[in-house]
Structure 1
């Protein structure tokens, strides 16, 4: 879960508890191999560890997990606020609470307004200077690693909800009932609440059901004065809608059908907004709390007995079941239903993937589902797998619509070890036959660029054209399909060649493995 949260783009990761040079917690919840496997490309975080020697950087003979977190060249952390020696719990609690006030700018003891933020290093300096921390020597064990002038990438305020079912918020009395159709509207504003009429972009909205009261399990046997220690706490409710909509001239609206699995008692949910403009230069955010009532059942809901349509791919939408991938493929699931997909996590109603029939380790995918822009009936699940074993794998995915109708789909794929073997399959050119344009396609198992050569021969064996190129690759590439080479039907001298059948040889070479693979296919020119 920690690795998934990092890969999904958590801005701040704050760990409080046992830790050491090799990782976090006695249960080994995060170790050096996990850190090296982070895939939060272009979404680097501030990693805060209030623990012991997680980043003991002064021993050149032992590299620590904290150092690996920062050294990760393509992912990991942009900065660390981290400990280098053992610290005591009493100090750790006081320091962590104090740091949060300055890092997230809700302290009344600094010179920053609530919507202004110090740099991460300055937040640490302010925390160490705070009276609750300044007199304790252990503050010297906490360091900042990174650019001291860098600030966290906080979005600007504000985004607000203005209408429910076309009724202004001040007059609205509607409750979001199970299976009811809902339309919400709002606007993007500046910090003073003024509409931004020139703001155009895409809004991401997450709507949560009512808060959930929870209790710790007391399964570690901890006692205080002879009594088991049980703590009560609240968490956000289940997500009942996660979707995208267009913002035009600072205003937006979107609609959806409320899932059947919401909590029936009526109470206030939470709406969270995040928007990015077309130029990717201004991110806005906002929330609506204690304004949206959720609960009850729509007794007049239309009937729906049909489950969602599910289409599965690996890495990209050109994947064909039975194709090849590397050890870290990304599952893409395209879901479509007239009333939308259920993500409210009713008992047994999650979006679930089962790999190779292992039902004891299901992959819950609710948090990885996102609707298409301005269309709640369609959406995509995108989930990155890690370190799969080489060989044939079968993946089954089950999803439910908001009426709790289910569907199941299955896909097979073959994992090749990219560090030991270069593999290609599904070699073809499209269109075929063609007149003056075709693309050469093939699947491969490499995440690094590959050298590609295509030689085209007549049926008598005469070479008429050689095309050289490279596949796209790199750390952000997830596609296992190459369609980078094209041909216009002309020979090496630029002359149009005759109609008929030709043979081509595809040669793919990996410079890292020093290996190559060849395939021969036919094409037809009209």
Structure 2
């Protein structure tokens, strides 16, 4: 809407972020690039809503929004509503920055998104930077750009700015006569920071360096080609400003993307003479992790058949953390191409092996679950699991009652150090009481599929089931930690613990309510 103005503003901020932070993975989500759904209650973008919720759940560092807003909603189409921020539940909490009108009128007697996010004890935002009143798009873009510059930047001594310092410096920069951009209006004064101003966002301090791809040194100047159906071999190391970190031990996570796609927006509102165009890496070819020893890592990546075949540059992002989680590193390379096909000597026609259940690994077909069960699919295939979303129909697909379809590509996670097996986890939306049917299909990287079905019964209000209870010390003399495994991840659950001695006397009780992402409390 607004003649593509908000997309242009967001793009301007995006380009400066990647120029200053080339190793960071930055994803653009523009409403107009997705189908708009029109009903009697108005317009909506359900795909965008799902993408944003999933980004928050997976652990985005920053969620940055440019567009219209109100205390109860982000955008006219209510892509995210006040209730979403009330209900959001994740241990991986982002910082929210909104170049938008009055999302946080904290001095008014009404609920608003900014305060609600901060008061959600299960996690919606670690901090919220937004406006308290109506503001203007041009000035919003200038402030947003300055704030991101300081938020992700360092001072002259190499120290990261706190989120409070970033807010102060961004505003003062706009009235500095030596600044290249000035804003002498009161617009910036309407922005407030909800959160701890002394907080510094986590950002890697060291570098992940890719040394070789398929045996070819990246310093050679020649770009290796990653062919469909092949196995890419990656070697690299960790280094700091002082040189290689030979004692670094930890985990490296890798994300491989295909070449850029041309994304032509749809001009859904019809108010622009031209359709906005951007170039984005929409296809993730692989996501996994492996170990780092003595500052060195070696890993393999399967290249699916569903690639662009463009022979243009792909992108490999890497993130590393040491064993005690005190030193982070990141890096990237675009010095390779994706295209061509590997000669496959032996044809494979067998799809992935799968073990599928709801809530509990002991689940049996036809059993009873709660109204929002948790879906699990443990998958394995010697060629790897296809989650690219590129080939027509080659998605991880879940269908409930023959009508409600969910694409679960982004919910798949490879097992550590392996590309041949992994797990899909998905929290099903609320279902009505009674009998239901589930169909699930998965594809391997050679485009062979497997599928399975489950029947189950929903009982509203069904009590959670304990799977296991352990203690960190047993017997315990002074203290111990209870580790409880249960079948309701991502669901607020009340835990009541009572400890008795050998004679049946009650020694200790404890009650608390919590929600966890993995079913362990």
Which residue number corresponds to residue 22 of structure 2?
none
How much has 1:308 moved relative to structure 2? 0.6
For the pair 1:47 / 2:82, whether they are aligned, the reply is no
CA contact (8 A) 1:127 1:133 kept: no
After superposition, the Cα gap between the structure-2 partners of 1:32 and 1:185, relative to the gap in structure 1 and judged at 3 Å, is same
Among candidates 148, 156, 163, match of residue 212 of structure 2: 163
Structure 1 segment 22-171 matched on structure 2, within 5 A: 22-41=72-91, 43-59=92-108, 61-105=109-153, 111=156, 113=158, 116-131=159-174, 132-171=181-220
- Cα distance in 2 for partners of 1:334, 1:287 equals 30
Q: Which has the higher strand share?
A: 1
The structure 1 residue matched to 2:325, chosen from 275, 280, 284, is 280
Unaligned 5+ residue runs, structure 1?
A: 428-439, 454-463, 483-526
Aligned-pair CA distance for 1:167: 3.3
Paired residues of 1:316 and 1:479 also in contact (CA < 8 A): no
Matched, 1:11 2:11: no
Tell me how far 1:390 sits from its aligned partner. Answer: 4.0
Distance in 2 (CA, whole Å) between partners of 1:7 and 1:442 is: 20
Task: Say whether residues 1:340 and 2:384 are aligned partners.
Answer: yes
Task: Find out whether 1:374 has 2:417 as its counterpart.
Answer: yes
Over residues 177-215 of structure 1, what are the superposed CA-to-partner deviations in whole Å (9 max), with x where a residue is unaligned? 1111221111122245x2211111121111000011111
| Residues 315 and 479 in structure 1, CA contact (< 8 A), matched pair in contact too | no
Kindly indicate whether the alpha-carbon contact (under 8 Å) linking 1:11 and 1:44 is maintained by their aligned counterparts in 2: yes
Distance in 1 (alpha carbons) for counterparts of 2:452 and 2:506: 39
What CA distance in whole angstroms lies between the structure 2 residues aligned with 1:203 and 1:478?
Answer: 21
Partner of residue 52, structure 2:
2
Shift, 1:470, TM fit: 9.3
Secondary structure of the 1:125 match is helix
2:12: which partner in 1? none
Deviation per residue, 1:366-424 (Å, 9 max, x gap): 12222112221111122233444444443322111111001112234444434xx5476
Structure 2 counterpart of 1:403: 446
Q: 1:186 to 1:398 in 2, by over 3 A?
A: same
Residues 60-117 of structure 1 show CA distances to partners (whole Å, capped at 9, x for unaligned) of x3111221111101211111111100011221222222222222228xxx6465xx42
Residues of 1 paired with 2:253 and 2:384: CA distance? 16
- CA distance in 1 between counterparts of 2:350 and 2:439 reads 19
- 1:235 counterpart residue number: 280
Q: Which structure is higher in RCO with an 8 Å CA cutoff and minimum separation 6?
A: 2
Moved more, 409-418 or 11-20: 409-418
> What TM-score do the two structures reach when normalised by structure 2?
0.77
In 1, the alpha carbon distance for the partners of 2:365 and 2:512 equals 22
Q: Identify which of 311, 317, 320 aligns with 2:355.
A: 311
* 1:270 paired to 2:318: no
- SS of match in other structure, 2:336: strand
Please tell me the root mean square deviation across aligned C-alpha atoms, in Å: 3.2
Worse-superposed segment, 166-175 or 2-11? 166-175
Instruction: Give 1:216 deviation, angstroms.
Output: 1.1
CA shift, 1:449, in A, is 4.0
Indicate whether 1:208 and 2:240 are aligned.
no
Residues 454-469 of structure 1: pairs in structure 2 closer than 5 A: none
The SS at the match of 2:514 is coil
Corresponding residue SS for 2:126: strand
Give 3-state SS (helix, strand or coil) of 2:130's partner: strand
Q: Which residue of 2 aligns with 1:189?
A: 239
> Cα–Cα, structure 1 residues 301 and 154, in superposed 2: closer, same or farther, change >3 Å?
farther
1:324 and 1:425 in contact (8 A); partners too: no
TM-score, reference length from structure 1 = 0.77
- 1:425/1:175 Cα in 2 relative to 1: closer, same or farther (>3 Å)? closer
Any runs of at least 4 consecutive aligned residues in structure 1 with deviations exceeding 6 A, and if so which? 423-427, 440-446, 464-473
Deviation at 1:220, TM superposition (A): 1.3
Give the whole-Å Cα distance in 1 for the aligned partners of 2:261 and 2:133.
37
| Residue 441 (structure 1) shift | 11
Contact 1:271 / 1:287 at 8 angstroms: preserved in 2?
A: yes
Which of 370, 395, 401 lines up with 1:350 in the alignment? 395
Distance 2:427 2:354 in 1: 18
Matched length: 443
Alpha carbons 2:213, 2:224 under 8 Å: kept: yes
1:256 aligns with 2:333: no
1:295 CA drift (Å): 0.4
CA pair 414-48 structure 1, distance change in 2 beyond 3 A: farther
Structure 2 SS opposite 1:284? strand
Q: Aligned equivalents of 1:323 and 1:467: distance in 2?
A: 36
* Structure with the larger helix share: 2
